Structures are given as C-alpha cells and as structure tokens.
Amino acid sequence: MKPTTSSSASHQRTRKDHATEAAEDYVEAIDDILSAKGECRVDDLRKHFSVSHVTVSRILARLQREGLVRKEAYRPVSLTKKGKRLADQSRERHQIVLEFLKKLGVSAEVAEMDAEGIEHHVSEETLEVMRRFNTK
C-alpha cells in the first residue's frame, strides 16, 4: 500500500534514509582515508566519527552486506566499485554544497559543518541550481 493517503511523500524518508546517510558518510570517509594514508582501518573510522570501534565495525558489516565495502577480520577496509561510485558521488555533492555555502557568504568552518548535514537532503534539481550559482 503506497501513501496515496496524505500530504507527505516527503516524509517517507526516515529510518531508511538515515541508514543511507550513514552509508554515504562512511564510504566518503573511507575513500578519503584511503587517499590520505593508503589504508583504512576500523580505528581510523572510529577516530573520524568519534564513535566506538564497535559501532564502526557493525556499520561496516552492514555496508559489506550491501556490497559497498570489503572487509575481512582484522584487516583494513576497502571499497567495492559500487562503494567507490557512491563515495565519488557523495563527495561531489559535498563539494558542491560546501562551495555553494561559502560563495553565499557562510564562514568556512560553519559551511563545512552545515554541508555535512545538508548534502544528504538536496535533490538533483537543487544541486543543479547550486552548481550554476557556484560558477556565476
């Protein structure tokens, strides 16, 4: 049964999308860490997100189930093609939103924080508008 019912197609994104957000944040972080230091360990992600290593390892297990990540016990994490693709996409979004906010006049630090929150919620249309704004 689809939500023919109400005013909110928009409110459909709740639990599922939070999981998606986490996935995007993680693959992005993994890709960054990989670039920066050649390998990415649970502990790197633990520091990056300021959570316990347990949380990291459980999220990695999920991402592996979803085919975004490769992970064997006690070894570093790597991205699958699918994961790398998602990481690239996510980073692109991130960059666009970040640059947009800075061009708008938001300070660099705050822009960085807000971009992380906002990037998961901008539609393609809005992203395109931002892209255009950035090059103007």
- Candidates 48, 70, 71, 91; binder of DNA (CB under 7 A) is 71
The residue ranges that bind its own copies (CB under 8 A) are 3, 5-14, 18, 22, 25, 47-51, 101, 104-107, 110-114, 116-118, 120-123, 125-126, 129-130, 133
DSSP letters for 52-117:
-HHHHHHHHHHHHHTTSEE--TTS-BEE-HHHHHHHHHHHHHHHHHHHHHHHHT--HHHHHHHHHH
Number of residues that bind DNA (CB under 7 A): 29
With contact defined as beta carbons under 8 Å apart, do 47 and 110 qualify? no
76 near DNA, judged by CB under 7 A: yes
Are 70 and 80 contacting, i.e. CB atoms less than 8 angstroms apart?
yes
Q: Which does 5 bind (CB under 5 to 8 A by kind): DNA, its own copies, none?
A: its own copies
What residues make contact with DNA under the rule CB under 7 A? Answer: 14-15, 18-19, 22-23, 41-44, 46, 49-55, 57-62, 71-74, 76
